[in-house]
A = this chain, B = another copy of it.
Amino acid sequence: VTDDEYLRTRIASVSPDEIRVAGRDLATELMGKLTLTELAYLLVARREPTPGERRVVDAVLVSLADHGLTPSALAARLTLTGAPESLQGAIAAGLLGAGSVLLGPAGDTAQFLADTLRDASDHSPEGLARAAEQAVAACRGAGRRVPGLGHPVHRDADPRTARLYQLAAVEGLLGGHLRLLEQVATAQETLTGRRLPINGAGAAGAALVDAGIPPRAVRGFVLVGRTAGLVAHLLEETEHPLGMPLWLEVDRRAGT
């Protein structure tokens, strides 16, 4: 019925004796054949990754999985304190902080670079430099931060950035988005006189797009990696809780 057109999905379908995911039989064509990263790639890019793309994408997901006792990990662990029976709630709480300040910049950078590249006719180094200058100037004119630059802890250099560039180069995937991001950093320094390093989230966003992930999928894609980090924090929280003592300490100090 045409009436049902809006309910069609390419992602998966289920019948009593078969499950199809991404158009393939789940049991015989996917399980035991693809890694989770490869399936995630297949679902958003609608093709399997090459070995090089797979390696870069895994490196990105690994790079963003965890950063210690971040606001995201703390929110997840404090949520478990009140609702230990609802693990999915604690994971959800941890992911909810992946917004415009933390983790979200991976997707914002991907989209910013993709938009800039789409509007640029000339992808030579000089052309990218000009496109970067215009894009950075436009950000500054609109009072917006340039995405992908600067980090509160890694002030000089983010250790993930150089590694992602190196891996992409080795795999032949140092494409327009990663190269444009370097020009963006240069343009930002030229325009402001202040060097901000490319941060790990920004490099991750650029690397994912150069490795074939659609820019619009990046903001969600990185959450697959972060979920893995949160699972580890919550296992540790059940064994070695910090939520309750942190509450009591904060409460005591707030009251003094």
Residues of A within 8 A of B (CB): 1, 4, 6-19, 21, 26-28, 30-32, 34-37, 39-40, 43-44, 55, 58-59, 61-63, 65-76, 78-93, 95-104, 107, 152-157, 159-160, 162-164, 167, 214, 216-217, 219-221, 223-225, 227-236, 238, 240-248, 250-251, 253-256
B69 and A55 within 8 A (CB):
no
Other A-B pairs, 9, CB within 8 Å; known A7-B242, A79-B93, A81-B102: A7-B250, A14-B68, A14-B251, A19-B159, A35-B37, A40-B232, A44-B231, A152-B248, A221-B231
Check A92 against B95 for contact (C-beta < 8 Å): yes
A62 touching B88 by the CB < 8 A rule?
Answer: no
Task: Knowing A7-B242, A93-B79 are in contact, say whether A31-B59 is a contact too (CB < 8 A).
Answer: yes
Contacts of A8 in B (CB 8 A): 240, 254
Residues of B within 8 A of A78 (CB): 71-72, 74-75, 78, 97
Closest to A66 in B: B12
**Structural contact, A159 and B254, CB atoms closer than 8 A:** no
